[in-house]
Structure formats: structure tokens, C-alpha cells
Structure 1
């Protein structure tokens, strides 16, 4: 059972060896944890450990230990996400210091959580909630990588191209490491000159990855093009139409969606459903419809019987989803009234929760 480090007490028996980016465990499995072990784990920023929880385990005999039922469980996705985020942050800081991108290392970082989310696509719903505005860039980097891989899977790409798409999404903003930190952490709107400097990051990112042999040419192109749009409104080259590669669009849409659904230093977050509508309406013509449908089917699927909360706080149940208006179904309120969100444009779905219809 994985338990948060803050709740670990001396006497717990370690079930799984603890690794910390080292070739050998920092603490071996079967170790009975002491205060010194716990301080050691904290020094390595370990957030949770796997311990044996049984009635006759040493932990149950230790008088200072709380009851196991009182200890919070660590969600597997949360544990894996924040472990990966720590590695992403470390890599970004290495790039800031002038180190090169090591593609084999980046593959090792992203692959465990990518495989987990590919097998458990419903876990993708959680990533926007994990993001924190003061370290947004690292969350964005990881999340765009995951979203890109998930969209690629939804588009039925082969496994190799799914991984390449995820790596390209993960590395799309690596060029931001060459931007002044004061600009990356600015809490107010950017000036025109500052915005132009930020717009140079796809070029900087491409320069950092162009010689990586384990990254396919289309992935490198996608890193350069992830802010290009089909209608020619993007940057850095203003490419349009077929000149914008499919993986470039995929990463660009993942980037846009995550930016909309997370809180940033100068802008609040939108709900999943509001973000989908903004992409459909405000960005129409910028992305291929198949790429948009792939993302929407991952993040905003509604079905009859689902419990939803509307933007005015009202709760209800989805009655019918119209094919052409997937985010604007008929919603029945507890008093029996039915709201047609196609007609009520002032309202939108704030959140949803799967529940079987009566």
C-alpha cells in the first residue's frame, strides 16, 4: 500500500525498494523504517512509499502509528504524475544550465506514465487538476506530452508513432529554457516585444532536437510547427493547410486545450466543456476535424444518465446528446424541468460525473 511520506512512522515495513533516479535502491525492500530512514526519504523528495499493511506487521505494533484506516491512500495516477513531474523539472533546469536534450532519458521519463494513461484513458481527466500556476511550465510540458500520446492513440497511430508524438509534445517547449525566467514567471499580460520573444521558442526547441537520432523527422517537424495553424494564423513561419503536419496539429491542440483548462499566473481556468466549445467556435478552421474529435472524445464525452453541474450551479442528469452538439445535451433538473443547452447559450456544463440512469 502506497502511503504519503508525511504519514509514515518508524516501524513500517518497506514492501518495495525505493529508487530515486539512482542505479541502486536508496532503501532496500524489507527494511523496517526508522526516523533516520524517513529523514533520508524526505531529503530525496520522495512523496510516498509502498509498505506492508497487515494486522501483525511491525507497523501495527508501533504505538505512535495511527490506524491504517486513518491514513490517506495515494492515487496511482497522482503518484506517477508527480514523480514524472519532478524528473521533467530537473531536465528543464539542466537545459537552462546549457545541457543538451538526452532523448533516451526523456523516453524513460515519459514512458511509464504514458503507458499507464494509454491503458487507463479515464485518468487523463485528472491532469488539469494537478497543475499549479506557480510551476505551470513544468505541468504544461508533461501534460502536453501525455495528451499528445493519447490523441495519437485515439487516431489509431501505431505504438511507435504514439511514443514519438508524446516525446514531441514533451519537448515542444524545451526551447523555453532559453527564455529569461523573469519572462516565464511574469504574472501580468506580455508586452508586444515580450510576446515576440516567447514566439521564438519553437525555433529554439527545434535547434535543441534537430540532431537527435532517436527522434523521427516528423516529430522534430511537429516540435517546430506546434504553433502553426491550418488557416495560416500561427507561427513561426505562418504555414497553412497541408504544410502543417498532422502531428504538429495534434501537439498544437493538446497545448491549447491544457492552457485553457488550467489556472495560469495571468488567467483563470475553463471547464473541460467550456474549453471544448471555445476550441470548436473560436478556433474553427485552425485544426483538422479528426484531430479535434479525437481530443473531444477523450476529455468531453457525455452520455445519457451522466450527472452534470451547470455553470449556474444547478445539478442535473443528461437526457439526450445531439450528435452535432456533443457538449450541449438536454439536461433534466431534480424538479423535473428540462434544459436544452443548445438553446440556453448562457449556460454550459461545468463538470460531469458518470452515473447510471434510473
Structure 2
């Protein structure tokens, strides 16, 4: 019998009759999921009140569930451990907290760095431990709330990159906080520009470019950010070849901290769905940063991101940008992002170094 049950009344073995969303773009649990103790705990943690279930309890006990049953690679959240479900919830809570703070800044209230630190620092600490979740950040973002997702994700990625580069914990956490605050100056930009679903005019783009100056002004008096982090916030759109803004700084005039936030910013922006364009493959974006944007970014920073997000090995199951599933059979030393892949559908071997119209979309393992 189909019923709506309060979360407090759920029992192990009850079956979901519809996908469960929690203010998320993707469901946190799929229809026909047989609830375990951990599932019920996650539903409570997400603050859900009632869900649609089948009244009967599944015949199989939880201990009898076939652990070797085939996994649907599209079920992103269902295939990860429960501690990662909770990390996703922590991320979502941080996005909502950032949105609330951003509304205050838009109303003219000075940033409360203590509050931002309270939800950003624990989050970046967890993500630097669970690196396998970094590749999923672009899946979490919702186009309508892009700005809030982007700021939180840039904080996470900045911390992860600096950690990968061997920086000490204090520096890592400072970069996580600076990355999250880099776009706080967007609160001073006309909201109609930020909500546009088409590309910006030159005049609108010039207006948006002022946000780095606004960001610095908003945080320059806080003692909770080191001076080099404040400079990184100002410079996170500068490029080594002098093509960036606001000052057109070049080479050694741009700090490594600025470059870390810059790479995190560009990577998340290009891999995330926006109101005016679809998302790109993370592997394709790393390749573009390395090749098409060569000379703009510190290669040590880009390589650290590559090791975090784009490390591919023989036997890894992947999804290609045309939707085909496959397995990596060979990784080229000089083109590690473009391996040879054996297609699952027909066993055909595809060499991505010669098939430039294709790329790895995601890792399925």
C-alpha cells in the first residue's frame, strides 16, 4: 500500500516509491531504494519530514542484500558511502549559509568573517580528506544559485589544490576561506546583470570586473585573513601573461595564492552548468587550461589540480562525452587526459588523442 510516512515512523526495509529531493538538483535517494538504518539517518539529517513509501517491508533482510548487484553509474549519490552523503549535506548547508550572508552584504552589511569561517573551514577540512568527492562538485551546482555554489566550491578547490601542493594546514585553511570570499564583491554588482541568461555586453562585463576591487574593500580590515590572502582575492582574475584584471599584473607580480584561487575559479566555472551555457567535462577543462590557456596559469598549480581531479589509470570505468561507457585500456604518457578507451557497447577501442571531438566526461568507479 502506498502511503506518506513521517521520517520518525520509518523502518528498515521499507521501499521508496518516488525519488527523494532535498532542495537539490539531483535526488539524494532513488525510487525503489530499500531503506537501511543509514538511509533513514540521512533523511533525518537533510531535515525531511515525510516521504512516499510502500507500507510493506521488503522480504530480504538488510544483511542479505546482494553486495555484488550491478550498479547504475548514473545514480551519483546512491553509490557513495553514507559519510559522503553527510558531506554532501554539509556542502548544501554551507551554500545556504553563504546565500544568507550574501543577502546581508547586498543590503550593505559588512561581511562577518567569523560566520563565514564557521561553515567554510570545517567543510574544506573534510573535502581535503575525501578527495574523491572533489570531482562531484560540478554535479551539485544549481544554475539559478550558481553564485553561492561557485563561491563555496572555489573555497573547497583552493584548499584542496594548496594541500596537494604541500602547503601547511594553516595556509590551506586560509586559502579555503579566501577562495570562498573572492567573489563577495559580487554583492555590489547590479543583480539584473548577475541574473542574465545571455552573454554580457561589454559594458556589463566591465561592471562585473569591478567585483575584485569590491571584494578587497569589503574584507580589507579583517584580521582573520592574512595580507597575502587579501591580495589573492584582489588578484584572482589576473593572468601571468598580463591579460587579466583589475590591474593587468604579470608573472612574479602575481602570487601563487592568487593563482591557486584563479585556477579553482576557472575550473569550477567551466565545469558547471550556467543559465546561458552547458557544463564542460572536467577532463576537457583541465586540458583546455593546460593547452588553450597556456601561459596564463602557473603550471605547478594546474598540475596539482590535474592530480586531484584528472588522474586516470588502466582499468578505470569512464563515461565519454557522447554518453558511451567504457574502460581505460592505455594511458598515454604525453597525453594522460586522452587515454585509449574500450567501449562497453561493442568492444571497440577508441584513442582519444586522435578522436578530439570526444573526452572523458566522468569517472564511474
TM-score, normalised to structure 1, is 0.79
Q: Verify the 8 A CA contact 1:9 1:65 in the aligned structure 2.
A: no
1:157 aligns with 2:135: no
Q: Verify the 8 A CA contact 2:7 2:48 in the aligned structure 1.
A: no
State the match for 1:344 in structure 2.
Answer: 355
Q: Verify the 8 A CA contact 1:48 1:79 in the aligned structure 2.
A: no
Q: 2:264 aligns with which of 233, 254, 259?
A: 254
What whole-Å deviation, never above 9, does each CA across 1:283-310 have from its counterpart, x for those lacking one? 1111111100011111111100011222
Q: 1:79, CA displacement in angstroms?
A: 0.9
Q: Verify the 8 A CA contact 2:290 2:299 in the aligned structure 1.
A: no
State the match for 1:135 in structure 2.
Answer: 145
Taking the aligned partners of 1:347 and 1:132, their CA distance within structure 2 comes to 25
State the match for 2:23 in structure 1.
Answer: none
Q: 1:337, CA displacement in angstroms?
A: 3.4
Taking the aligned partners of 1:9 and 1:250, their CA distance within structure 2 comes to 43
Give the 3-state SS of the residue equivalent to 1:284 in structure 2: coil
State the match for 1:203 in structure 2.
Answer: 213
1:353 aligns with 2:352: no
1:75 aligns with 2:74: no
Q: Verify the 8 A CA contact 1:206 1:224 in the aligned structure 2.
A: yes
Taking the aligned partners of 1:311 and 1:113, their CA distance within structure 2 comes to 30
1:235 aligns with 2:245: yes
Q: Structure 1, unaligned stretches of length 5 or more?
A: 1-5, 14-45, 51-62
Taking the aligned partners of 1:11 and 1:338, their CA distance within structure 2 comes to 51
Give the 3-state SS of the residue equivalent to 2:328 in structure 1: strand
1:323 aligns with 2:322: no
Q: Which shifted more, 292-301 or 220-229? A: 292-301
Q: Structure 2, unaligned stretches of length 5 or more?
A: 12-44, 63-77
Taking the aligned partners of 2:57 and 2:269, their CA distance within structure 1 comes to 41
State the match for 1:25 in structure 2.
Answer: none
State the match for 2:274 in structure 1.
Answer: 264
Taking the aligned partners of 1:245 and 1:280, their CA distance within structure 2 comes to 19
Q: Any residues of structure 2 matched to 1:27-66 within 5 Å, and which?
A: 47-48=46-47
Q: Verify the 8 A CA contact 2:281 2:321 in the aligned structure 1.
A: no
What whole-Å deviation, never above 9, does each CA across 1:209-244 have from its counterpart, x for those lacking one? 111111101100000000000010100000000101
> Aligned pair count?
304
Q: 1:64, CA displacement in angstroms?
A: 10
TM-score, normalised to structure 2, is 0.78
